[in-house]
Amino acid sequence: MSMSFRKSIRGAMGLCALSFMLTSCVSLQSVSMTQIPSDRDDKVSASADQFLFLNIAFDNDFVNDVNKQLLERCKGGRITGILTKHEYINYFLHIFARRRVTADGFCLKKA
């Protein structure tokens, strides 16, 4: 084999390995929804993330931030029509990952 052929093979293999390592994957773990109100004027949203190393999660406390954010965005009212999503994003061969919880709803102010 010629030297240039070997270099091109090594380069192709290196490029394949690099592209494989830089890929990520997103999966939707769960979705839930409550009753949607007829009054949909005031939409509120919240989200929280947790980064993982080696897929180890020591707690789920980050989810509580979503509830706090929703309550702050709807002071003096009640939230209904809530759509929640739990996503898992895998980076670099499951060495790094992120869990994300998002919630969207409608704030109903007391009349």
What is the extent of the structural domain holding 56?
23-109
Residue 67 lies in a domain: yes
Say if 62 falls within a structural domain: yes
**Structural domain contains residue 28:** yes
pTM of the model: 0.70
Domain annotation covers residue 49? yes
Q: What is the pLDDT of residues 64-90, one digit of tens each?
A: 999 999 999 999 888 999 999 999 888
Residue 3 lies in a domain: no
Q: Structurally, how many domains does the chain consist of?
A: 1
Residue 1 lies in a domain: no
Q: Check if the beta carbon of residue 80 is closer than 8 Å to that of residue 35.
A: yes
Span 19-23, average pLDDT? 63
